[in-house]
Structure 1
């Protein structure tokens, strides 16, 4: 489409130049006739041929320019079309071709000055006038071509900048959605695993005392309620446009660890906790948030893959020493029928730890324990 538009513009411009050239040829012929020049028939024939050749500049610019220059050497009636051809080549072709066309036109008009000298003007000044004219035509055409190329380059840069900006915005949105999806996995998987563990206790112990059944049912009800609240918060983040600073709820950090441990104990998990961090509130926000999510995911995996087995959680560290997290649990002899999951929890934790400037590892120890350990930065 751009090429067609450029062709239409060139055609319109050439039509205007053809009309202008015809007018100039007519005026030249009239001027020479009024001066008593006897070669009027030759001027008319050359002028008609020159006007006929002007439209050919669109398809064969070099050949048409050469033909017009040869006609200009025979008669001054072809001078306006020849100059138009030189200007057209300078505007549409490289500088080397433009200079060549200008020199050829200069040579043709030098011959014209010998064949048809201008009264009252010496041949030397004629050459100077012709040289200045063709130099101006080549310079003007080259400047116009360079300006057009610059404008096209600026438009292309603006278009690319808009496309790159759109790509950056799309990448930022995709990254943010990935973070939100990971957060949803961490939060809801933990909460729903608590509900699943409590519901399993109701299923396998229907003969339990009513007080215990009521307590477990209360844990299930509270867990489902909290899961719905957290899901509502995540959906609120997805819907928010980022302009309301109060739209994002504060994320849990290491100071919220006791509540997390109490929830797991209420669901029947046997926990052995060694928390040597004396002041959790002094933990950097990013480190504390990552530590909370790592411990939350570790407890979730322990409930899913080793139900009923005790879990040992150790947290240690301080300013300048970093924060160390170690979670261990014995693996069962037979893998349980765990609730379905995406299988990307540990991958997300590793990415979270890496983004925080730390590292995370996991695997089975020689003692048959599954170990999840992480080291996070804690600047001094």
Structure 2
């Protein structure tokens, strides 16, 4: 398909005003031909008055779009005058065809029906009183008028259908844009949650170890060395996860069909290593499992890991706890993830300090079709309980 712009002369020719003027000229030519080229010797020849009557059936068509009924009445009066003036009257009422097509295409229901009835009645009276027409001539003339009206109705239906299709296309385009915007917003929220979880967890562990390191550097060099190793490990782990997260955002470059190298997304299998990291920071954490493990969707795997990561980060930062437990309870239809600690800090301060993290936990659970509950435990401390759906059809032995 050519992308060249349409010539200016072609755009001018397609203008409605130009089309209507050309149509009026064609109607005048058609009306005049019968009298310029008579079939029988006794037929009327074209006279000046006859030409003016013919012109009166054509000129009003120039305004047929803006004033369809007024143009129709003017053409009807001129056609009646021409019928009374000529003997025999015109064989074909070209102006009537155009008028009926126009009112059927753009007119209101009852006015256009009334105009059709008037033209049909006028045609019958003209053929009966002036022409003494044969029966087949009645059928021809009446069918021609009804055909012009029917074509106008078809044009109206086609125009309405086209408008409906265009409106539907615009609505679909708008909905597509809105869905794309919602997808971008969801992805931005997911990335923000991931970055918060990664950085908050790593920085919390590094801060705890950095504070403990100088205290024991002289009295317990081995413990100090372990603290510094934990800081380095937490930093490397955070850098690895951030590199993977940012790699998702990076567009694939030309010549690099596989894109940047990325390690797998964190999964439920990584929770054990996560517990070891927190345990190295000085918090006694145990990992408990009950039930039969089952297959999980990828997003649920990531959500379970991030929930435990955020809950343990909050425990390290805000709880003042000495012990914590991570429990994975596998059921037939759901996985329940529970993180509890024995912290004794004020609930208000803890919720205030970990508010964004708790919101992220709830959002992650909801995004996977699960639920989340947080609050003080029955024996003190703080509990995070998240329920996530399990693909029971993928049970593993």
Q: TM-score range by the shorter chain?
A: 0.7 to 0.9
Does 2:199 match 1:177?
no
> Out of 319, 333, 340, which is 1:306 matched to?
319
Within a 5 Å distance, the mapping from 1:217-366 to structure 2 comes to 217-239=228-250, 249-271=263-285, 273-277=286-290, 282=294, 284=296, 288-307=301-320, 309-320=321-332, 322-333=334-345, 343-365=355-377
**Aligned residues of 1:73 and 1:110 also touching (Cα < 8 A):** no
Residues 23-67 of structure 1: per-residue CA shift (max 9 Å, x gap): 113323424697453893431231232333221212211011012
Deviation at 1:252, TM superposition (A): 2.7
3-state DSSP of counterpart to 1:276: strand
The CA distance in 1 between the partners of 2:331 and 2:348, in whole Å, is 40
The answer on 1:150 being equivalent to 2:157 is no
Match of 1:216 among 202, 209, 227: 227
Is the 1:359–1:376 contact (alpha carbons within 8 Å) kept by the matching residues of 2? yes
CA displacement 1:341-373 (0-9 Å, x = unmatched): 883221222232344444321112464422222
Return the alpha-carbon distance in structure 1 between the equivalents of residues 318 and 246 of structure 2: 29
**Structure 1 residues 284, 140: closer, same or farther in 2, change over 3 A?**
closer
CA contact (8 A) 1:193 1:300 kept: yes
2:202 corresponds to which of 191, 196, 208: 191
Structure 2 unaligned spans of 5+: 1-10, 84-89
Distance between the aligned counterparts of 1:318 and 1:245, measured in 2? 36
Is 1:109 aligned to residue 123 of structure 2? yes
Q: Distance in 1 between matches of 2:158 and 2:345?
A: 79
| Cα distance in structure 2, aligned partners of 1:59 and 1:319 | 74
Q: 1:100 to 1:304 in 2, by over 3 A?
A: same
Out of 45, 51, 55, the residue aligned to residue 52 of structure 2 is: 45
TM-score normalised by length of structure 1 = 0.81
Match of 1:374 in 2: 386
2:79 to 68, 72, 78: 72
8 A Cα contact 1:182 1:348, kept in partner: yes
TM-score by length of 2: 0.78
**CA RMSD, Structure 1 to Structure 2 (Å):** 3.5
For residues 198 and 330 of structure 2, the distance between their equivalents in structure 1, rounded to whole angstroms, comes to 26
Unaligned runs of 5+ in 1: none
